[in-house]
């Protein structure tokens, strides 16, 4: 092999080495998802039904619905995934783990959804 090939391999090895995410990434992501969900809920609460006759007024409520649903779902998944190790240690088997995960998912979804 030539010296250029060795340098290229070393550069590739260095570029493809694993990088750990920042320690506060999960907390920052959760805060961002919470704020997006709350902003979408506020936007939906402020629009009036009488303005919906004109299709040009549909963009904001539709966007708020999509953003709120996506951020809310991601928030629930993030929180449930964060507690996976604890549930796995408490579970007696695969079916018990699945049951506990579904219960946790339902409880977290109730917390995230607005009280109506």
Nearest-angstrom CA–CA distance, 21 and 72: 23
Residue 1 belongs to some domain of the structure: no
| Triad 76, 77, 78: Cα angle to 5° | 90
Residue 16 belongs to some domain of the structure: no
What are the pLDDT digits (tens) for 74-103? 999 988 988 888 888 888 889 998 998 999
Three-class secondary structure of residue 21 per DSSP = coil
Residue 28 belongs to some domain of the structure: yes
Nearest-angstrom CA–CA distance, 5 and 11: 10
Residue 64 belongs to some domain of the structure: yes
Residue 11 belongs to some domain of the structure: no
Residue 47 belongs to some domain of the structure: yes
Is residue 116 very low, low, confident or very high in pLDDT (cuts 50, 70, 90)?
A: very low
Question: Quick check: 11 pLDDT over 60?
Answer: yes
Structural domain boundaries enclosing 35 = 22-112
What are the pLDDT digits (tens) for 15-55? 888 888 888 888 899 999 999 999 998 888 888 777 777 88
Over range 3-22, report the average pLDDT.
80
- Report how many domains make up the chain: 1
Over range 65-74, report the average pLDDT.
92
64 to each of 21, 109, 113, how far by Cα in Å? 30, 18, 14
């Amino acid at each position: 092999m030539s010296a250029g090939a060795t340098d290229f391999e070393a550069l590739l090895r260095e570029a493809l080495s694993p990088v750990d995410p920042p320690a506060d990434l999960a907390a920052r992501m959760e805060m961002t998802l919470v704020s997006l969900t709350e902003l979408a809920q506020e936007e939906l609460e402020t629009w009036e039904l009488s303005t919906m006759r004109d299709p040009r007024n549909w963009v904001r409520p539709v966007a708020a619905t999509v953003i709120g649903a996506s951020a809310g779902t991601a928030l629930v998944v993030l929180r449930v995934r964060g507690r996976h190790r604890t549930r796995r240690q408490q579970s007696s088997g695969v079916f018990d783990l699945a049951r506990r995960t579904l219960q946790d998912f339902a409880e977290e979804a109730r917390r995230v959804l607005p009280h109506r």
